[in-house]
A = this chain, B = another copy of it.
Amino acid sequence: MPRIPTGLQSRVMSAEKAGQLITSGMTLGMSGFTLVGYPKALPEALVASGHAKDLTVCTGASVGDDMDGVMAKAGIIKRRYSYQSNKSMRTLINEGSIGYIDMHLSHVPTFVNRRMGGIHIDAAIIECAAVTEEGLIPAASMGASDAFVRMADKVIIELNETIPLDIIGMHDVFDIGVPPNARPIPITHPLDRVGVNFIPCPPEKIAAIVVTQLPDKSPAFAEPTEVSRVIGRHIIKFLQSEVAAGRMPENLLPLQSGVGSVANAVLQAFADSGFRDLTMYTETFQDSALELLDQGIILGATTCAVSFSANLQKHFYDNLAAYREKLILRSQELSNSPELIRRLGLVSMNTPIEVDIYGNVNSTHIAGSTVMNGIGGSGDFTRNASLNIFATESVGKAGAISCVVPMVSHVDHTEHDTQIIVTEQGVADLRWKTPRERAELLIEKCAHPDYRPMLRDYVTQAAKTAKGQHTPHDLSQALSWHQRFLATGSMK
């Protein structure tokens, strides 16, 4: 099939001309999720032209430097919504030059569809593999593109000719509807298809089609360290004990695995775990997941994006027709849906920045003030999973930072939400544990031995000074480790 039907050929234009459809102050809903499937030509054209400023850019999640980095550095973004992981963008956010709103990923399409708080998408800019009279065939991610297209005044398509047309049929797009007319999502297995394989869009809404051959900048994953291998083995052993206790099927429940190198390394540990016939229900599908799929250890997955390093990306696209049977690309409204995460009973695995002795988790901020990336989907998954795991090395910056602290400097996941904390030191199972029991477990099982005496001292001091002994804190010292780190570069 042609990538563009005859009736829409007239909308084909240069990125420069399409960029003229964007004007200052607009809110743009742009495709992209975990560094793939984002527009690449429009950002460059907008930066080159410079006519459109003060833009609000809303995406599903993280996009490449050729979008976020380029636009941020050019100073044309005023506000950035929902998630980012770009160095230049992060710098400008933390300088206070770009306003950033860090959201649960499941909220983004839901709030856009419901016009929550008056959000209005002036234009959707969506990378696609093809377009039809019925709608759009997205590229390597779904993100919140379905909501953006549905609610936008106009749609600009970046039609990427490097994406094989075999991707047609990999997507599954389902319109939940808006209250009071929202409907149940009829998914009961990660591989259930319940919708259509395109994003519905009336042809008259398509304002421009820009043809590109610009590939996704493939993410790079660090080689697993010995420490991350140990963490992976702890998780496998813990899951085996859950199966042995009869609390989890032998092929577990659908896995969710977070973004980045640690998550990638943890997933690698499943390769020689003995687990078989696994499924995934996750927001991103990275290198190690594809390897597990090739090995037959994972039978199939729902994901919001396929995000591979260069070699595996080529392998994936070369074998797209086969993968189409095993992978479903869904909008983050479904991949991160509390309804589905709870129903399917996921095992979620995410990476914290730090955890405190009572099990509160910080996923976003350094020393309370500086945002790193964002909460992403970790809140959607953690709150609703059957079993949630946070895995991290026990120390950072060559031991200068403890990942177990008296009180986290920013809370993204509360004590009510967290269950299993894993470091290379061991596993703390916080389920059905009181705050003081949690403190003991986290210190003795997860904290680095260098920091245990200091943590024990804090617990002793807090018990002496606190009026209430349910969650004893010494407020004069609770954040002192972060203060010391800011002053000296070390928590020690």
Residues of A within 8 A of B (CB): 79, 81, 93-96, 99-104, 107, 110-111, 114-119, 176, 178-180, 182-186, 188-189, 245-247, 249, 253, 337-339, 342-345, 360, 365-371, 375, 379, 383-384, 386-387, 407, 409-417, 419, 429, 431-434, 436-437, 462, 466-473, 475-476, 478-479, 482-483, 486
**Do A470 and B371 have beta carbons less than 8 Å apart?**
yes
**Do A434 and B478 have beta carbons less than 8 Å apart?**
no
Complex Cα–Cα for A486 and B375 (A): 33
Chain B residues positioned under 8 Å from A338 (CB to CB): 338-339, 342, 383-384
**Do A369 and B472 have beta carbons less than 8 Å apart?**
yes
Give which listed residue, B102, B118, B468, contacts A370 with CB less than 8 A: B468
**Do A370 and B467 have beta carbons less than 8 Å apart?**
yes
**Do B343 and A386 have beta carbons less than 8 Å apart?**
no
**Do B433 and A101 have beta carbons less than 8 Å apart?**
yes
Complex Cα–Cα for A115 and B466 (A): 34
**Do B179 and A471 have beta carbons less than 8 Å apart?**
no
Chain B residues positioned under 8 Å from A182 (CB to CB): 188, 342-345
Complex Cα–Cα for A415 and B411 (A): 9
**Do A116 and B431 have beta carbons less than 8 Å apart?**
yes
Give which listed residue, B344, B369, B375, B469, contacts A468 with CB less than 8 A: B369
Q: Given A180-B344, A183-B343, A475-B479, A467–B412 Cβ distance below 8 Å? A: no
The 27 sampled A-B contact pairs (Cβ below 8 Å) are A81-B432, A93-B470, A95-B469, A99-B436, A100-B434, A101-B432, A110-B342, A111-B431, A118-B247, A180-B189, A182-B343, A184-B186, A337-B342, A338-B338, A339-B339, A339-B343, A368-B466, A369-B471, A370-B470, A370-B471, A383-B383, A410-B471, A411-B411, A411-B414, A412-B416, A475-B486, A478-B479
**Do B339 and A470 have beta carbons less than 8 Å apart?**
no
**Do A366 and B468 have beta carbons less than 8 Å apart?**
yes
Residue of A93, A103, A338, A475 ringed by the most chain B CB atoms within 10 A: A475
Chain B residues positioned under 8 Å from A93 (CB to CB): 470
Give which listed residue, B116, B337, B379, contacts A416 with CB less than 8 A: B379
Chain B residues positioned under 8 Å from A81 (CB to CB): 432
Chain B proximity of A363: nearest CB distance (Å): 10
* Nearest B residue to A410, CB-CB: B471
Chain B residues positioned under 8 Å from A472 (CB to CB): 369
Complex Cα–Cα for A378 and B253 (A): 28
**Do B470 and A179 have beta carbons less than 8 Å apart?**
no
**Do B179 and A345 have beta carbons less than 8 Å apart?**
yes
* Nearest B residue to A102, CB-CB: B416
Report, nearest first, the 5 A-B pairs whose CB atoms are least far apart. Answer: A179-B345, A370-B468, A117-B431, A96-B469, A411-B411
**Do A478 and B368 have beta carbons less than 8 Å apart?**
yes
Complex Cα–Cα for A234 and B342 (A): 35
Q: Besides the contacts A81-B432, A118-B247, what 18 more A-B pairs have beta carbons closer than 8 Å?
A: A94-B469, A94-B470, A96-B436, A96-B469, A96-B470, A100-B434, A104-B417, A114-B247, A117-B419, A179-B344, A180-B344, A339-B339, A366-B467, A368-B466, A369-B468, A369-B473, A370-B470, A414-B414
Chain B residues positioned under 8 Å from A114 (CB to CB): 247, 345, 386
Chain B residues positioned under 8 Å from A407 (CB to CB): 368
Complex Cα–Cα for A449 and B436 (A): 38
Complex Cα–Cα for A386 and B472 (A): 35
Chain B residues positioned under 8 Å from A247 (CB to CB): 114-116, 118
Q: Given A466-B369, A468-B370, A478-B479, A116–B386 Cβ distance below 8 Å? A: yes
Chain B proximity of A196: nearest CB distance (Å): 20
Chain B proximity of A337: nearest CB distance (Å): 8
**Do A249 and B189 have beta carbons less than 8 Å apart?**
no
**Do A475 and B483 have beta carbons less than 8 Å apart?**
yes
**Do A482 and B475 have beta carbons less than 8 Å apart?**
yes
